[in-house]
Amino acid sequence: MGDRIPASEPVGLGDVVAGLRADGVELVELSFVDNAGNVRVKGVPLDRLPAAARFGVGASPCFETFTFDDVMLRGRYLGGPDGDLRLVPDLDRLVRLAAMPGWAWAPADKYTQDGGRFVGCQRDFAARQVRAAADDGLTAFAAFEHEWALGRADSEEFVPAFGGPGYGQMRLEATAEYARELVAALRAQGLEVQQFHPEYALGQVELSVAAVGPVAAADDAVLVRHTVRALSGRHGWRASFAPCLVPGGAGSGGHLHLSVRDADGNLFAGGSGPHGLRPAGESFLAGVLRELPALVAIGAGNPASFLRLEPSRWAGVWQVWGREAREAALRLVTGTTGTQQWAANVEVKCFDGTANPYLAVGAVLAAGLAGAREGLQLPAEVTGDPAVLDERDRVAAGIHRLPTNAAAAADALAGSAVLAEAMGPELHDAMLTVRRAEAERYADAGPEEIVAATRWRW
């Protein structure tokens, strides 16, 4: 989308509407994701779609400072009861929802009533970082891994929908028909599924989709989760993308994979640096590594996130990097011999499903671009599990723990000049307003209380 609401109805929209009507669509959902990671929606009848595309649909700017549990706050710049925004659907992503008959979906961009871009639009933040990369001659591709737990729909507690060993065939047998329908639905919506498998935690499965442009990857994340929840309900299950459902147990992540290319190819392959990194690729990763404490506030800053972010669980709690290092927050994936140019990427392991995916991809891009511009270098990589080292040895090796609570993560974001500049004062302050309020309200809450408040919010 551009910097202003389109001046006229998009060409060919009438044919699109007619095609959707022929497919049985009666309503169109317009969605955006707030700073707490909740997807908010407005729906319009199909025949109102041309008007929505031309003039937008009203939405209060109060959602910019809503916490995850719908507490309304006011930040320095955004929030409160006044004003109005216009949600304008991105018709390039308009799709019939395969798991929600009669509905279509499109992600929305936020504009002001006078037609200009809204400063707090999270989707536009991601798009701005894509443009900044292009200005530096770089193109990024991204994809989220999706982990979720399936519980019985007749319980507010989490009762796993199936049992069996982690990654086991028994779990696959229990979810085989569900998985077949899910993959078919995602394919019908234009997504390319690469993997589905049972995971480690109770009732947990995982699905991966193909990498696309960063904004499209965030759109895909919203659409995948939407489809999962709708289809799970039809099977008598309830899906949760929350980071922790059982205190003390393994949780669900929302890992971000990212690769960056220039005119000569993948920055993470074919070079003379560690594991084939090219100089610009090393600097990009060093920039992300530097900003990881602040990035936690964006990608895993909810109080529940820190119940998952524990050592020795492959959650990525250490501010280190390494090739295929599953305890490192930054895991370099090089691919097998012969695939490096298209397969090499970096995985940010500390993120989870509480993140706004547009902010997550945009912030990681901003951090990496800053590192590339500054020519940063990576420290020595880390292998194994840093948790088994003595604290003195970790300090000597430069191994540091990422923030261990929501307040510390918010403080790190407040101190990040890179992310403050990239986000702009309004969006940066709104994010801090949300994270600090959540941190303060749940500062004295025990794990059971936090889990009960968050298990069905994502």
Q: What is the pLDDT along the chain (458 residues), one digit of tens a residue?
A: 678 877 776 778 999 999 999 999 999 999 999 999 999 999 999 999 999 999 999 999 999 999 999 999 999 999 988 899 999 999 999 999 999 999 999 999 999 999 999 999 999 999 999 999 999 999 999 999 999 999 999 888 999 999 999 899 999 999 999 999 999 999 999 999 999 999 998 999 999 999 999 999 999 999 999 999 999 999 999 999 999 999 988 899 999 999 999 999 999 999 999 999 999 999 999 999 999 999 999 999 999 999 999 999 999 999 999 999 999 999 999 988 889 899 999 999 999 999 999 999 999 999 999 999 999 999 999 999 999 999 999 999 999 999 999 999 999 999 999 999 999 999 999 999 999 999 999 999 999 999 999 999 99
102 with 138, same domain: the answer is no
Which of 118, 136, 163 marks a domain boundary? 118
**Does residue 416 form part of some domain?**
yes
54 with 141, same domain: the answer is no
**Does residue 347 form part of some domain?**
yes
**Does residue 3 form part of some domain?**
no
Give the C-alpha distances (Å, rounded to integers) separating 288 from 295, 360, 366, 447: 8, 12, 8, 30
Helix (H) or strand (E) holding 291: helix 279-299
457, 160 Cβ separation under 8 angstroms: no
* Nearest to 62, CA basis, from 76, 34, 81: 81
160 with 18, same domain: the answer is no
84 with 191, same domain: the answer is no
Q: DSSP state, 89?
A: E
The C-alpha atoms of residue 326 and residue 314 are separated, in whole angstroms, by: 5
Domain count, the chain: 2
pLDDT at 223: 98
178 with 299, same domain: the answer is yes
pLDDT at 306: 97
The C-alpha atoms of residue 78 and residue 58 are separated, in whole angstroms, by: 16
Q: State the Cα torsion 309-303-217-119 to the nearest 10°.
A: -140
User: Which two three-digit tokens encode residue 264?
Assistant: 């000569």
pLDDT at 5: 76
User: Which two three-digit tokens encode residue 302?
Assistant: 């909810």
* Nearest to 206, CA basis, from 143, 148, 142: 148
Q: State the Cα torsion 241-245-249-250 to the nearest 10°.
A: 0
**Does residue 8 form part of some domain?**
no
- CB count, 10 Å around CB of 69? 13
**Does residue 212 form part of some domain?**
yes
* 372: amino acid identity, one letter: A
Residue 26 phi, psi (nearest 5):
-120, -25
Helix (H) or strand (E) holding 71: none
pLDDT at 6: 76
Q: How far apart are the first and last CA of the chain?
A: 27
* Nearest to 285, CA basis, from 311, 317, 321: 321
Check which CATH number belongs to the domain holding 46 and give it.
3.10.20.70
**Sign of CA pseudo-dihedral 95, 97, 103, 106:** negative
34, 40 Cβ separation under 8 angstroms: yes
User: Which two three-digit tokens encode residue 140?
Assistant: 């990024």
pLDDT at 10: 79
* 410: amino acid identity, one letter: A
185 with 69, same domain: the answer is no
183 with 64, same domain: the answer is no
Which of 90, 118, 146 marks a domain boundary? 118
- CB count, 10 Å around CB of 439? 21
**Does residue 123 form part of some domain?**
no
395 with 295, same domain: the answer is yes
**Domain range for 328:** 128-454
Which of 84, 118, 152 marks a domain boundary? 118
40 with 103, same domain: the answer is yes
The C-alpha atoms of residue 293 and residue 289 are separated, in whole angstroms, by: 9
Strands 27-33 and 103-112: parallel
- CB count, 10 Å around CB of 392? 8
Check which CATH number belongs to the domain holding 203 and give it.
3.30.590.10
The C-alpha atoms of residue 254 and residue 22 are separated, in whole angstroms, by: 36
Contacts of 301 (CB under 8 A, 6+ apart): 354, 355, 406, 409, 410, 413, 435, 438
**Does residue 1 form part of some domain?**
no
**Sign of CA pseudo-dihedral 9, 13, 18, 20:** negative
pLDDT at 84: 94
**Does residue 2 form part of some domain?**
no
308, 241 Cβ separation under 8 angstroms: no
252 with 105, same domain: the answer is no
* Nearest to 371, CA basis, from 323, 321, 297: 321
